[in-house]
Amino acid sequence: MNNLFGKVIAIAFLVEVLTNFIKTLVPNINRIYIPIIAGIFGIVLAWTGDIGIFSTLDIPIKWMVLDYMVTGILVSRGANLVHDLAKTLNYSP
């Protein structure tokens, strides 16, 4: 379980970095697309890293692609949490 948590945090961090890179590359991107981009990055990283929440928790799932999709979407939502945490840790009054 701790191994899963570390992997999810690492992927969430990467998703946040990649999403911020896209926002820098395309500064006037519509904010509606940011969660979609983060979700795509999360799914791709979960798939290529072979990290699935269901399989790690020994929950049987018929199609592994769904495991990667769920993991990627959860990671993409966690990327915002990682961003907020990083901002808090870098806060200097």
Q: pLDDT band at 89, cuts 50/70/90? A: low
The answer to whether 43 and 69 are in contact (CB under 8 A) is yes
2-40 pLDDT, tens digit each: 577 778 888 888 898 899 899 999 988 888 898 899 999
Integer Cα distance of 54 and 70 in angstroms: 9
The helix, strand and coil proportions of the chain, stated in percent and rounded to the nearest 5, come to: 75, 0, 25
The answer to whether 34 and 19 are in contact (CB under 8 A) is yes
Beta-carbon count within 10 A of 55 CB: 16
The answer to whether 12 and 81 are in contact (CB under 8 A) is yes
Q: pLDDT band at 41, cuts 50/70/90? A: very high
pLDDT, position 10: 84
